[in-house]
Amino acid sequence: MPLSAGERVGPYQIVSPLGSGGMGEVYKAHDTRLGRDVAIKVSTIAFNERFEREGRAVAALNHPNICQLYDIGALPSGSGYMVMEYIDGERLSGPMPVKEALRIARQIASALEAAHDSGIIHRDLKPGNVMLRADGSVKVLDFGLAKVSDVATTVTEHSPTYMATHSGVILGTAAYMAPEQARGREVDKRADIWAFGVLLHELLTGRCLFDGEDLAGTLAMVLKEQPDLSDAPAEVRPLLARCLEKDPRRRLRDIGDFEMLIGTPDAPPISAVRLRWPWIAAAVAGVVVAAAFAVLWLRPPAPQPEPIQFALEAPPGTQFTQGPNAMTPSPDGRFVVFAAGDSRDTSLLWLRPLGELAARPLPGTEGGNFTFWSPDSKSLAFTAGGKLKRIAIAGGPAVTLADSNTAPVTPIGTWNQDGVILFGSGTGLWRVSASGGDATLLIKSDGNRKEAGYGYPQFLRDGKRFFFFVQSADADVRGVYASSLESPDRKQQILRTASKAFYAPPRAGHSGYLLWLQEQTLLAQRFDADRLRLEGEPTAILENIAIGQLGPIRAAYGISDAGLLVYFGGAELEQRRIVWMSRDGRPLGNAVPPDRFGSLALSPDGERLIFERTVREAGAVTAKPDVWAWTSNGQSMMKLTFDKERDAYPIWSPDGGRLAFISDRTGGSQIYRKDAAGGGEEERLTDTPSNKITMDWSRDGRYLLYRQMGQGTGMDLWALPLEGANALKPFAIMNSQFNEGGGRFSPDGKWLAYNSNETGVTQIYVRAFTPQAGPGEKWQISQKGGLEVRWRGDGRELYWSSPEGTIWAADIQTGARGLQIGTPRALFTAPIYTATAGSFDVTPDGERFVLLLFASQAEGSIRLNVVSNWQAGLLN
C-alpha cells in the first residue's frame, strides 16, 4: 500500500513520493533521529534473512561515488524497505562532449571497481541508476538491488527488472544486459563492464545501442547483432569495443583497466599519439590490415537469437481465475493481460508490463474474461456481465460496445486498424464498431452443417481478411476457416482441427506461421497468408499445454505479432486429490491416491466413487480423461470408458446400476449411458449441437438434468426425459438471459436446487420442479456466493460450495407455504477445485464429504509462462 506524507517508517517520516517501479515505491523522508533527509525504497519483496544479509554486505560499501545504504527493515505488511542516502541531482542523459563523458565514466568505473573488489555485482547499471549532482560528482544508485556473489548464486528478490527462467533468472534491464545475462546464465563482474560500455556509448551519442521495438526485439539484438560504434568518437571506440565483446572471455576483464584504452586524464588517448617514423607507420598499417583481415575471416558467425522463457506468477494474494480465456499478450509484445483474484467472483483483469516486476489491476474490469487487444496495444476489449466492453490501459472507464454470450465457442474477438471488431457466438460471427453501436451478424452458423457456433476470429495484416474457428459435431466441418469483410459468406477451410489456431505474421527474417493444438502439443507450420496455404510440415514447439473443459479445445496459449508466446503449462494445472472430510472439517484421508482427476460423483449408497481420470500411457505426449470407478474401501479401481476422446462429468442412476456422462467422440459433447459395472454397450442419448455437462439423475429415474449453452441466453438448464412418449426429447427448464448451472433434483423430485448469476454474483436458488410447465416460485438460499449444490438423502438439508472453497449448509423444510429455509452456516473451508462441476459430493446422512482438491494447497502456485522470440528454433 502506498505511503502518505506524514506517515512514519520507524524513525523516518515520509515527506513525498519520488517515483515507483517494478521493485516498489521510493519516497523522500526525514530521519528524525539524525536530522537528515533520506530516500526510502519500499520493496515488493518480503523482508527475510537473505534480504538482511545482502543489505549488510551492500551497506559495507563506503565510496564517494556509491549511494550509501543506511538501514533496512520490515513494514507491518512484511515488505522490506531500504533507507538510502538522499541524492539531489539529475539522472544521466546524453549526448555530451567526450571530455565530460569520460569524467563521468571514471567516477562510475571507480564505484564499480570498489563494489567488484567486495564481491558485489550491480547487474542493472544504466543511465537511470546514475545520478549527476550539481557539483559534477556522480552517485551510482541501487547497489542495494545487486547480487552479492558470495551470498547466493541465484537471486530473484533484488532487481527492479527480472525474468525468471527454468534454469535461473534474468535480472536487469534488457537494453543494458550482457548476452550471458540475457540467456539467464550465471554472471560475474564482466556483465557490469558490458553495461558500462552501453552506458558510455549512450552518454557520448545520445543513442541506446540496443533499442528494439519490444522486449523480444531488444533481447534478440543483444544476443545476435554486433553493436554499431561508428557514431562514437574515434578515440573511445577501442574502449567500447572491448567492453562490448559478446564473449565474456574476450571482454575487458577489470573495469579499472579502462584507462589503458583511453589514456590518463593528463595524456592523450593512445589512438591520438602521432607516429614519428614513416616506416613504423607503414609497418603498423600492415599489421592493422592483416589483423582486420584475420578478424573478418576468422571471426565466428554472430550467434543466432535464442528463445528466452520465463514465468509470471499471479499477484500476491490472488490466483489465476479465468485460465486461457483471459490471458493474452499485446500485439507489440510489451504487455500481458490476465484475470486474477482470490476467487472467480472477485476476479478482475491485471496488466503486466514485461519491463516491470509487478502487475497492476485494471479498475472497471471486474469479472472480465475473453480478452483481446486493439492493434495499437493501447486498449483492451473483454467480456463481463454478458457485455462486450473496451478500456484504455492508460486509465479511464470501461465502455460497453455490445451484448455478448459465452460459448459454445467463445466471444473472444479481433480488432483491426479501421476500428472494426469481430467476435464469436453460437449464432455466428458478429461485427461491431470499436466506438460502439449496434452489432450485426456478419456470418450465420449453418445448422445444416451441424455448426454449433463460431469463435476465435483473427484479422490478417490487411485488416480485411480474417480467420475464425467453426465448432461442429462433424469432424470434416469443424476447423479453422478464412473469410473477408467484403465477402463474408465465401469462407475457405484452412485446417481441420478441434482447436483454435493463431496466425503469426513474418518478422525479423522468420516466415509466417499458423499455430494450433494437437492433443496438448502446440504445433507451428509455415503459412502463406497471401495464398492462404499451409507449407511444409508442422513442427512441435511446446508440449503439455493446458486446455479448458468445454466446447472446442480452449488451448491456454496466445501469441503477439512481436514474437511473444504466452501459455499455461498443463502439468501445473492437472494434479488433484480426492479426499474425505467430516462435516466439522476434520480430514479423513485420501479417497484415492493423487492423480490427474476431474469431476466426481458419490454413489447413492455412499460406497462407490466415479470420476474423471487422465492417464498418460508410456511414450504418449498427451491424453484425455476417461470415467473410472473406485470402491470406498479403497480396494479396487476400474476403468469404465475406453475411447480416445474426452469422457467426463459422470453421474449415477438412482439405483447405482448405471451411469451417464458426456463424451466428445462425435465432435461435440453429447450424453451417453452405460452399465456401471463397465460392461455392455454405451448408448448415446442426445444429438443436439450444443455442448453439454451432465448434472443429475432424478431419484425416480425419469429425468437427466444437464447444462448447455443457449443462443442469446447464456448457460441454461435442460432436462432429458428417459421414459414415456417424450423419451429423449429434451426440454428447457431455465433459459433466461443469465447463466444457470450446478443443478440437483431434491430426493422427492419436487424441487430443483441450482446456481444463477442473475444478481451479478453467482448464488444458490431453489425452485419447484414442474416438468415442461415452466419455472415456478424461487427462493435464494446462499448469501455469500454459491457454485455446486447437493441435497441430504432425506431432503432436509442442503449443502453448497462457495467460490473461496467453503462448504455451507442450511436446513430445508417443505409445506403448504412452500420452502422454509434455515440460516446458512459454514461447515468448513478447503482448497476445493471449484473450476469444474462435480467438485464435491456428500454421503446420504450428510456426515462425510468427498472433495476434489488441488494437489498443492493453492492455485496461486500456477505460473504463466512467457517465451520471447519463439520462432528462433524453427527452420525457414
pLDDT surpasses 90 at 309: no
Q: How far apart are alpha carbons 266 and 261 in whole angstroms?
A: 14
pLDDT computed for residue 10 by the predictor? 85
Check residue 662 and give left, alpha or beta (phi > 0: left; psi -120 to 50: alpha): beta
Q: How far apart are alpha carbons 165 and 186 in whole angstroms?
A: 12
Residue 650 sits in the same domain as residue 561: no
**Is 136 buried (19+), middle (13-18) or exposed (0-12) by CB count in 10 A?**
exposed
Residue 680 sits in the same domain as residue 581: yes
Residue 649 sits in the same domain as residue 757: yes
pLDDT computed for residue 823 by the predictor? 94
Residue 447 sits in the same domain as residue 533: yes
Query: Grid coordinates in use for 768?
Result: 419447484
Radius of gyration in angstroms for the set of CA atoms belonging to the chain, rounded to a whole number: 32
pLDDT computed for residue 830 by the predictor? 87
Q: Which of 124, 142, 214, 696 is catalytic?
A: 124
- Collect all residues with Cβ–Cβ distance below 8 Å to 614 and sequence separation of at least 6: 574, 596, 598, 623, 624, 625, 626
Query: Per mean pLDDT, which range of 104-113, 252-261, 382-391 is the poorest?
Result: 252-261
Q: Which of 606, 699, 704, 711 is nearest to 655 (CA)?
A: 699
- Collect all residues with Cβ–Cβ distance below 8 Å to 322 and sequence separation of at least 6: 338, 339, 344, 347, 368, 369
Q: Which residues partner with 147 through β-bridges?
A: 121
- Helix (H) / strand (E) containing 399: strand 399-403
DSSP state of 176: G
Q: How far apart are alpha carbons 26 and 17 in whole angstroms?
A: 6
pLDDT computed for residue 308 by the predictor? 76
Name, of 43-57, 100-114, 447-461, 676-690, the range with top average pLDDT: 100-114
Please check whether residue 466 lies inside any domain of the structure: yes
* Higher-confidence position of 165 and 421: 421
pLDDT surpasses 60 at 798: yes
Q: How far apart are alpha carbons 662 and 668 in whole angstroms?
A: 9
Query: Per mean pLDDT, which range of 240-254, 377-391, 849-863 is the poorest?
Result: 849-863
Please check whether residue 282 lies inside any domain of the structure: no
Residue 372, φ and ψ in degrees, nearest 5? -155, 160
Span 852-856, average pLDDT = 70
For residue range 472-486, what is the model confidence (pLDDT) as tens digits?
Answer: 767 788 899 999 999
Q: How far apart are alpha carbons 337 and 592 in whole angstroms?
A: 37
Q: How far apart are alpha carbons 270 and 281 in whole angstroms?
A: 14
Question: pLDDT class for 621, splitting at 50, 70, 90?
Answer: very low
Query: Grid coordinates in use for 765?
Result: 436458488
pLDDT computed for residue 511 by the predictor? 84
Residue 97 sits in the same domain as residue 182: yes
Classify the C-alpha dihedral 326-328-331-332 as positive or negative: positive
Q: Which of 696, 711, 836 is nearest to 769 (CA)?
A: 696
pLDDT computed for residue 119 by the predictor? 84
pLDDT computed for residue 54 by the predictor? 65
Q: Which residues partner with 865 through β-bridges?
A: 311, 567
The residue with cell 568505473 is 109
* Higher-confidence position of 833 and 606: 606
Q: How far apart are alpha carbons 286 and 296 in whole angstroms?
A: 15
Span 175-187, average pLDDT = 84
Q: How far apart are alpha carbons 803 and 342 in whole angstroms?
A: 9
Residue 463 sits in the same domain as residue 601: no
Q: How far apart are alpha carbons 741 and 693 in whole angstroms?
A: 9
pLDDT computed for residue 155 by the predictor? 27
Give the number of other Cβ atoms within 10 Å of residue 508's Cβ: 17
pLDDT surpasses 60 at 549: no
Q: How far apart are alpha carbons 545 and 572 in whole angstroms?
A: 10
Question: pLDDT class for 620, splitting at 50, 70, 90?
Answer: very low
Please check whether residue 867 lies inside any domain of the structure: no
Q: How far apart are alpha carbons 109 and 98 in whole angstroms?
A: 16
Cis before 95? omega within 30: yes
Helix, strand or coil for residue 621? coil
Q: Which residues partner with 484 through β-bridges?
A: 465
Listed residues 244, 273, 302: the one ending a domain: 273
Helix, strand or coil for residue 205? helix
CATH number of the domain where residue 713 is located: 2.120.10.30
Helix, strand or coil for residue 653? coil
Please check whether residue 860 lies inside any domain of the structure: no
Q: What is the dihedral of CA 863, 868, 870, 872, to 10 degrees?
A: -150
pLDDT surpasses 60 at 433: yes
Query: Grid coordinates in use for 469?
Result: 474457428
pLDDT computed for residue 856 by the predictor? 47
* Higher-confidence position of 518 and 628: 628
Residue 762 sits in the same domain as residue 849: yes
pTM for the full predicted model: 0.50
Residue 345 sits in the same domain as residue 421: yes
Q: How far apart are alpha carbons 359 and 313 in whole angstroms?
A: 10
Residue 517, φ and ψ in degrees, nearest 5? -105, 135
Please check whether residue 306 lies inside any domain of the structure: no
Query: Per mean pLDDT, which range of 108-117, 257-266, 497-506, 658-667 is the poorest?
Result: 257-266
pLDDT surpasses 60 at 138: yes
Q: Which of 603, 583, 595, 589 is nearest to 634 (CA)?
A: 589
Please check whether residue 869 lies inside any domain of the structure: no
DSSP state of 215: H
Residue 41 sits in the same domain as residue 98: no
Average pLDDT for the chain: 82
Residue 581 sits in the same domain as residue 558: no
Q: How far apart are alpha carbons 605 and 603 in whole angstroms?
A: 5
Strand 8-9 relative to strand 12-21: parallel, antiparallel, unpaired? antiparallel
* Higher-confidence position of 744 and 454: 744
How many separate domains does the chain show? 4
Please check whether residue 296 lies inside any domain of the structure: no
Question: pLDDT class for 15, splitting at 50, 70, 90?
Answer: very high
Query: Grid coordinates in use for 714?
Result: 447464456
- Collect all residues with Cβ–Cβ distance below 8 Å to 704 and sequence separation of at least 6: 651, 660, 671, 685, 694, 696, 697, 698, 719, 720, 722
**Is 198 buried (19+), middle (13-18) or exposed (0-12) by CB count in 10 A?**
buried
pLDDT surpasses 80 at 169: no
Task: Respond yes or no: is residue 142 known to be catalytic.
Answer: no
pLDDT computed for residue 529 by the predictor? 93
Give the number of other Cβ atoms within 10 Å of residue 636's Cβ: 9
For residue range 714-766, what is the model confidence (pLDDT) as tens digits?
Answer: 788 999 999 999 999 999 998 887 889 999 999 999 999 999 988 877 899 99
Residue 240 sits in the same domain as residue 144: yes
pLDDT computed for residue 845 by the predictor? 96
* Higher-confidence position of 494 and 304: 494
pLDDT surpasses 70 at 803: yes
Please check whether residue 44 lies inside any domain of the structure: yes
The residue with cell 479498475 is 363
For residue range 567-597, what is the model confidence (pLDDT) as tens digits?
Answer: 886 544 456 889 999 999 999 988 888 888 8
Span 306-322, average pLDDT = 78
The residue with cell 541524492 is 87
Listed residues 23, 51, 86: the one ending a domain: 86
Residues spanned by the domain of 723: 576-855
pLDDT computed for residue 639 by the predictor? 92
For residue range 607-616, what is the model confidence (pLDDT) as tens digits?
Answer: 899 999 988 6
Listed residues 572, 601, 629: the one ending a domain: 572
Residue pair 405/709 in contact (Cβ under 8 Å)? The answer is yes
Give the number of other Cβ atoms within 10 Å of residue 234's Cβ: 12
CATH number of the domain where residue 152 is located: 1.10.510.10
Residue 110 sits in the same domain as residue 28: no
